[in-house]
Amino acid sequence: MEDIQLFGIQPSHRLAITILSIFLFALILELVRRDYLKERYALLWLATSAIGLFVGIIPGVIGQFARVFHFQMITMLFVISFFYVLGIVLGFSIIISKLSERNRRLAQEVALLGNRLEHLEQSRGST
Amino acid sequence: MKSRVLVIIPAYNEAESIAKVIQSLKDHVPEYSILVVNDGSTDATEEVVRRFHGVDLINLPFNMGIGNTMQTGYKYALREGFDIAVQCDGDGQHPVQQIAKIVERVEGGDADMVIGSRYVSDTNYAPSFSRRVGKSLLSRIVNSVVGGGITDTTSGFRAANRAVIATFANTYPDDYPEAEALVIMHKHGLKAVETPVDMLPRQGGRSSIGPGRAAYYIVKVSLAIFIGVFKKITHAPGESAEESEAVNAAAFHEETK
């Protein structure tokens, strides 16, 4: 039974997934420490590495999914990671849209304030 | 009481032509205030504009596109208390000598916005085939939403009253805004009509719409319009600083009706 569930995933694969996940975990912590990454977004990536670690240690979980959806193990892995990444990227697009909207308001405000300041300086200069 | 009129000239690298436009405005309609919104031009647009006395200038910190440029103008018009804002391009295509014609119709209360149109019967405008097809397609889409009556949905030569100014200060499309703006107005219960004007050839500079962008233009605007129909009118709470201004202006609009 164990063999069917883990079809296609060798112990060496499990080891690689585990090590990569631990590496990702350490990398994220380091990026946060150096202020390259905000804690807010780091949480997402820490969760990602945790999931990787989980799969590395207990790959049977993927096997269960594969059986439910009638996929090959490796296909299941691919499908899950694809949608996961898709979700992350969509999330980023939403964040970018929000930021660009704020950026627009900020830039317009700066321009309008610059104009006001100029008027103020002129009126002070003339009195 | 005479209404205060502001002419908003969005300018991106219009150093060659903008002086003529400003001079022409000063000659024909000296009573109107003029605002140039410089959209991060890399040429001498700013210097040219500064040579004129009594012309106000807003410099955007970087190039933001025509939509954001015009919206900055509408925000200025709202804050400075203008009754009517006219959009007039800096490339010299808009017939300044006919500007009073569209402003007077807004003053007279014919509609919330009056568009100087290139297609209405007695004008001499002859656009290229692809441009004509694209624009007529767009025109059909816009008219199906707003209930018809606008032949030239992409004309940027337009005069707007205070209710429209307030609406646009709050919500305005960021690129290729003209057609979509009509849909936004319609959603806010504001009415646009058009008046024929003769458009002129460009005085200098180059068109911001190249042939390759035409397809993007149609798809983007159609999408924006279709989604716009289902969009909530106001922004998410906390995102909109202008919301209260829009509400005030809407109240103002009710009073004047």
- Give A101's contacts in chain B (Cβ within 8 Å): 239
DSSP state of B4: P
User: CA of B201 to nearest chain A CA: how many angstroms apart?
Assistant: 30
Q: Kindly list the averaged pLDDT for each block of 10 residues, start to end, along chain A of length 127.
A: 57 88 93 90 89 86 83 83 92 93 95 94 80
Q: Is A42 exposed, middle or buried (0-12, 13-18, 19+ CB in 10 A)?
A: middle
What average pLDDT does this structure show over B103-120?
Answer: 87
User: CA of B238 to nearest chain A CA: how many angstroms apart?
Assistant: 11
Pairwise CA distance, residues B191 & B156, whole Å: 16
* Interface predicted TM-score of the whole assembly (ipTM), two decimals: 0.77
Count of CB atoms situated within 10 Å of the CB of B51 = 9
Report the predicted TM-score, pTM, of the whole model to 2 decimal places: 0.79
| Identity of the amino acid at B188 | H
CB contact under 8 A, B56 and A115: yes
Per-residue pLDDT band for B257 (boundaries 50, 70, 90) equals: very low
CB contact under 8 A, B37 and A114: no
Count of CB atoms situated within 10 Å of the CB of B144 = 10
Pairwise CA distance, residues B170 & B173, whole Å: 10
Q: What is the pLDDT of residues B43-99, one digit of tens each?
A: 999 999 999 999 999 999 999 999 999 999 999 999 999 999 999 998 888 888 889
Q: Which residues of B223-244 are buried (b: 16+ CB within 10 A; e: fewer)?
A: ebbeebeeeeeeeeeeebebee
Q: Which residue has the tokens 């106000």?
A: B56
Q: What are phi and psi of B102, to 5 degrees?
A: -80, -30
Q: Which residue has the tokens 């405008």?
A: B125
